[in-house]
Structure 1
């Protein structure tokens, strides 16, 4: 059975499950809860780790050197039991190593480590992928945290996403879960987007490039969350219609393109990690008020 660990300090606490190394709660010392609750009426996820693919593969199948393997949407890590490798009062590190079960669908020797750490009112989530194999390791890695919408104390206020780079990144949409590569006009205006549920009637909004390395999500005149991204060039925003959450998803890798190759190494923004190498990806979220 999955286990859970709580880390925290006098300002902020996080609960992390061994199943998927998935954060289950993020709570400030005043009792306010910032993470989505995982209500099954909408979506049971809260903050899944996406590996070794982000998004869908055609027919839920990937090709590796021409051989086909089954691969569910967002990969297998989120449904895998991780081992608790290290912990302190303010940090926990979970690890998923290659096994017979993973090799049946992903024939590589790897180590995926996910660390959650709290400092002040800031949480940092870091994923490290190590290639223990003798051949290059192809993979996508993404974070899929869902936050309350409206934020605590933000009911009745407009909620916005504001990009640090003030950019207007082009938008792509999904069709059948796969990327339609046609670039659409940006919904951002000088880096600012006022969120509206209708924006998600066509599923996620995906920005393959140009969203930058940081943003703020907040209620106008109210609480705000500040994000920073490391080695995560792709951004998605998603919710279920009518659901009280917004997923702010920094990725390195996206769903396969419609009519594109099903070869894992040819998916957009796939990392090809050399034997013996380690790749690091992280995001921070700081609660400003």
Structure 2
């Protein structure tokens, strides 16, 4: 059975499960809950971590050097039990090492480490992927955290996503779970997007590039969450229409494109990790106004 660890500061408490190294709760000292509750009536996830693919593969199959392997949407890490490698009052580190089961679908020797660390009113979630094998390892890595919409105490207020870079990144959509590469007009206006559930009737809004390294998700004149991204060039926003959550998803890697090869190394934004090296990806979220 999964176990959990609670870490925190005087301002913030974070609960993390050993199943998928997934954050389960994000609670400020005033008792307000900022993370989605995982109500299965809408979506049972809370903050899954996506590895070794982000999104879907054609017919749920990937190819590695021409050999096909079964791979479910968003990969296998979120469904695996991680080992608690270290913990303190403010930090926990979980690890998933390659096993016979993972090699059957992803033939590489890897170590996947996920760390949650709290500082003041912020939590930083980092992932390190180490290639312990002798050949280049392709993979995608993504974070899929869901936050309350409306935010605590902000019912009835308009909610916005505002990019730090004031950009207007191009939008792409999914068709059957795969990316249609045809670019669409950006829904951002000088970096600002007023959220509406109708935007998600065609599934996620995906921004392959140009969203920058930080954003604010907040209610007009009310509470807000501020994000910073490290080595995560892709961004997605997602909810189920009418559901009371918003996923703010920074990725390095996306779903396969429609009509494209199933080869993992050819997917958009795939990392090609050399033997004996480690790649790091991280985001932080801070509670503020």
In the TM superposition, residue 241 of structure 1 has moved relative to its aligned partner by 1.2
1:193 is matched with: 193
1:269 is matched with: 269
1:284 is matched with: 284
Residue 242 of structure 2: SS of its match in structure 1? Answer: coil
Q: Map residues 60-75 of structure 1 onto 2, 5 A cutoff.
A: 60-75=60-75
Residue 43 of structure 2: SS of its match in structure 1? Answer: coil
1:89 is matched with: 89
2:109 is matched with: 109
Distance in 2, matches of 1:106 and 1:2, equals: 23
Q: Map residues 132-143 of structure 1 onto 2, 5 A cutoff.
A: 132-143=132-143
2:55 is matched with: 55
Which structure 2 residue ranges, 5 or more long, are not aligned?
A: none
Structure 1 residue 22 corresponds to structure 2 residue 22: yes
Distance in 2, matches of 1:153 and 1:166, equals: 27
TM-score (norm 2): 1.00
In the TM superposition, residue 9 of structure 1 has moved relative to its aligned partner by 1.3
In the TM superposition, residue 63 of structure 1 has moved relative to its aligned partner by 0.3
Distance in 2, matches of 1:55 and 1:272, equals: 18
Q: Cα deviation per residue 1:218-263 (whole Å; 9 max; x = unaligned)? A: 0000001000000000000000111000000000000000000100
Distance in 2, matches of 1:208 and 1:252, equals: 9
1:256 is matched with: 256
Distance in 2, matches of 1:8 and 1:164, equals: 27
Distance in 1, matches of 2:30 and 2:49, equals: 28
TM-score (norm 1): 1.00
Distance in 1, matches of 2:14 and 2:63, equals: 37
In the TM superposition, residue 190 of structure 1 has moved relative to its aligned partner by 0.2
Distance in 2, matches of 1:10 and 1:171, equals: 39
Distance in 2, matches of 1:270 and 1:142, equals: 11
Following TM superposition, where does structure 1 have runs of at least 4 consecutive aligned residues deviating by more than 2 angstroms?
A: none
Residue 247 of structure 1: SS of its match in structure 2? Answer: strand
Q: Cα deviation per residue 1:74-128 (whole Å; 9 max; x = unaligned)? A: 0000000000000000000000000000000000000000000000000000000
The CA RMSD over aligned residues, in Å, is: 0.4
Distance in 1, matches of 2:30 and 2:164, equals: 28
Q: Cα deviation per residue 1:8-45 (whole Å; 9 max; x = unaligned)? A: 11100000000000000000010000000000000000
Distance in 1, matches of 2:50 and 2:83, equals: 17
Distance in 1, matches of 2:281 and 2:261, equals: 25
